[in-house]
Copies of this chain bind each other. A is one copy, B any other.
Amino acid sequence: MSKPAFSRAEPDARRQSLIEATARVLARDGATGASVRAIALEAGVSPGLVGHYFAGIDGLVAETYAAVGQQVHVALAAAVAAAGDDPRDRVAAYVTASFAPPIADRALFATWIAFWSLSAKPIIAARHDALYQSYRDDLEALLAACGLPAADRRLVAIAITALVDGLWLELCLSPGNFTPGEARVLAERQLESYFDRSAKSSR
């Protein structure tokens, strides 16, 4: 007669559902809004469950960092895959994907800022290090396919990543100062300059 007051879930599914709820709250309300109660409400469970599955709110946010970072990775990989086979096109696609949805997005920006604001905690800093290293590794592989000398790849990847991050940041913080199209032009221009330089020095 009475319908169940709650239902049990597979531990992994429940964890995943809490992580996704955290991502939504972070995107909507930023770091200050991501309380245990708000997350539990968003996930449709009771506040006590957070403590049951994660090492406090910090542990949950750290795992959410990894999950959202992985989603960005997937979005970038999709952009590369859609670019075809030409190595130059693939690098350009990887770089400029950051200036269009779903990556250039105020909600994702709020999420990212929340992660950065917790970077004083070692567990969050470790997540960041691993994630950004994987981004640079991806970029280095794409650069290698373009024939960029191995000796140049590391620093070029650092520079490209920094430029893209900086443009993405300002694009989210002050849209109106420049357009996503201009960001794209600037990023592609810098890519060309590195290829030209390496072609020149290898001659």
Contact = CB atoms under 8 A, between A and B. Distances in A.
A7 interface: no
Contacts of A132: 170, 173-174, 177
A49 B197 CA distance: 59
A64 to B, nearest CB: 16
A113 interface: yes
A184 to B, nearest CB: 12
A182 B166 contact: no
Interface residues of A, number: 38
A192 to B, nearest CB: 9
A166 B167 CA distance: 8
B116 A114 contact: no
Contact of A173 (B128, B167, B178): B128
A117 B162 contact: no
A158 B168 CA distance: 12
Interface in A93-118: 110, 113-114, 116-117
**Those 7 A-B pairs whose CB atoms lie nearest each other, nearest first:** A162-B166, A166-B166, A165-B166, A193-B193, A162-B167, A159-B186, A163-B163
12 contacts: A113-B113, A113-B119, A125-B173, A125-B174, A129-B174, A132-B173, A158-B178, A159-B189, A163-B163, A164-B166, A169-B169, A193-B193
Interface of A: 30-32, 110, 113-114, 116-117, 119-120, 125, 128-129, 132-133, 155, 158-159, 161-167, 169-170, 173-174, 177-178, 182, 185-186, 189-190, 193, 197
Given A155-B178, A158-B178, A159-B189, 11 more contacts: A31-B31, A110-B120, A113-B116, A125-B173, A132-B170, A132-B177, A155-B182, A155-B185, A158-B167, A166-B166, A166-B167
